[in-house]
């Protein structure tokens, strides 16, 4: 089983469980039947990043591509039928992601340096961007203030995630994936 097949299994299972998740008050949902090789909880941000990684996958077999197309049809139908519910859930998650990203930036400022964890932590910022597509209103002052803080210590450079994902995240929109923060001064 390829890594893409494992992500496809997770994506399909996430859509099987998303109805109960959307009705719950939870922002992160412990999946009842996650694939054995990917024990990732369900969140809308995590779902969107999984979509991105699968859409960027260049080596999908014909069967995997057909399966992805079927799962994507299910997702599109869900987005049409549950748009307002998805938007409300995305807004709650967005608040959480903003708080986590703010805490990371505070920690970064306190330490005065890059931190090995930036490629992992920047997932919060990517999720913030993607959750906006589900109708979650990101207050521009919150985002611009956080981005301004990062830009003060940001050094443009190479894409920080796996090269295969670069096509899914254009530099103009996801500038924060193209470089790292460095110590001030």
76-131 per-position pLDDT tens digit: 999 999 999 999 999 999 999 999 999 999 998 888 766 789 999 999 999 999 99
DSSP 64-130: HHHHHHHHHHHHHHHHHHTHHHHHHHHHHHHHHHHHHHHHHHHHHHHHTS--TTHHHHHHHHHHHHH
- What count of other Cβ atoms lies within 10 Å of the Cβ of residue 4? 19
pLDDT band of residue 54 (cuts 50, 70, 90) is very high
Opening angle at CA 128, ends 123 and 133, nearest 5: 125
Phi, psi of 179 (to 5 degrees): 140, -170
Report which DSSP code applies to 131: H
What is the C-alpha to C-alpha distance for residues 16 and 116, in angstroms, rounded to an integer? 35
pTM of the predicted structure, to 2 decimals? 0.92
Find tokens 């469980």 and name the residue. 17
């Amino acid at each position: 089983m390829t890594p893409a097949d494992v992500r496809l299994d997770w994506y399909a299972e996430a859509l099987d469980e998303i109805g109960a998740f959307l009705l719950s008050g939870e922002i992160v949902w412990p999946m009842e039947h996650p694939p054995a090789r990917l024990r990732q909880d369900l969140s809308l941000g995590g779902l969107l990043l999984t979509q991105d990684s699968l859409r960027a996958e260049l080596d999908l077999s014909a069967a995997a591509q057909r399966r992805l197309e079927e799962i994507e049809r299910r997702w599109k139908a869900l987005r049409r039928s549950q748009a307002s519910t998805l938007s409300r859930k995305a807004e709650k998650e967005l608040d959480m992601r903003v708080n986590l990203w703010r805490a990371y930036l505070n920690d970064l400022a306190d330490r005065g340096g890059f931190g090995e964890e930036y490629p992992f932590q920047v997932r919060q910022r990517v999720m913030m961007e993607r959750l906006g597509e589900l109708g979650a209103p990101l207050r521009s002052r919150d985002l611009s203030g956080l981005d301004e803080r990062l830009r003060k210590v940001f050094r443009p450079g190479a894409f920080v995630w796996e090269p295969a994902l670069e096509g899914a995240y254009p530099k103009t929109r996801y500038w924060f994936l193209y470089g790292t923060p460095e110590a001030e001064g």
